[in-house]
Chain A
């Protein structure tokens, strides 16, 4: 190699550098010792690969600047991709934790006598941070749902006489009988609390989360 990084000419006609060539010049004879398109020159005159990283990241010519900004944007997008993948595994971990918790215990809410037709009651189930609503829509029908709207978790309010549950934040409406969304931004039904009536007492016996 000479001082410019090029291979010295090998005099032998069968040398590797001459393989496939009809002339006597090696393949890299006229290869420039620096990138001819590299307009950015450092003040000390050394090649760009020997310069500190910041000088390569802030070139002075536009084409190189466009290249660097696209490369860095791509790097940022790959980091975003990593974040989304971490998010997927976070969901998987949360799901594992939820499965480990299992179904909540049965809790007494009230009695049929204390809840007249058309009345509603707010309760917390399965934890104190999970507000729910219990509605007695007619003599024999009891329904209970999570009070958190499936849009943005605002507290929903039942309108028994209209047969709907309304979210006042964004005018979302759910069907009182099924908990399914019927108008507004919510797309998922309200989580349904399973109820059991034993000896006139009403118990919450679990939560059914639904996608449709």
Chain B
């Protein structure tokens, strides 16, 4: 039998810090993707536009999933 133990506040603090670090890395990656794609578009190179958009969507999905999980552990803390 598994006993449901909600995270303590200290644990939640560590979790949110870890998630924030991961989200920041992904957002920086997205910023780089956007500038590189814009540079390619202005230079007439179309080959990177859709792969970069797909990579950006994956990053957004990861970020949204992490935020959703954070709200989930917040709701279940009681």
Contact = CB atoms under 8 A, between A and B. Distances in A.
Contact of A77 (B9, B23, B78): B23
B8 to A, nearest CB: 6
B55 to A, nearest CB: 9
Listed residue (B1, B33, B74) with the most chain A CB atoms within 10 angstroms of its CB? B1
Interface stretch (A6-14, A68-76, A104-112, A164-172): A68-76
Chain B at the A interface: SS class: helix
A53 to B, nearest CB: 12
B20 A74 contact: yes
Interface residues of A, number: 43
A108 B49 CA distance: 34
Contacts of B57: 85, 88
Interface stretch (A89-97, A117-125, A136-144): A89-97
Chain A at the B interface: SS class: helix
A187 B36 CA distance: 12
A85 B61 CA distance: 10
Contacts of A34: 78
Interface in B14-34: 16-17, 19-20, 23-24, 26-27, 30-31, 33-34
Contacts of B66: 74, 78
A95 B49 contact: yes
A209 B44 contact: yes
A188 B34 CA distance: 16
A209 B60 contact: no
Interface of B: 1, 3, 8-10, 12-13, 16-17, 19-20, 23-24, 26-27, 30-31, 33-34, 37-46, 49-50, 52-53, 56-57, 59-60, 63-64, 66-67, 70, 74, 77-78
16 contacts: A37-B8, A67-B12, A67-B13, A74-B16, A74-B19, A78-B64, A81-B26, A85-B56, A88-B33, A88-B49, A94-B41, A99-B46, A150-B42, A188-B43, A209-B44, A211-B39
Interface of A: 19-21, 27-28, 34-35, 37-38, 47, 49, 63-64, 66-67, 70-71, 73-75, 77-78, 80-82, 84-85, 87-89, 91-92, 94-95, 99, 150, 187-188, 208-212
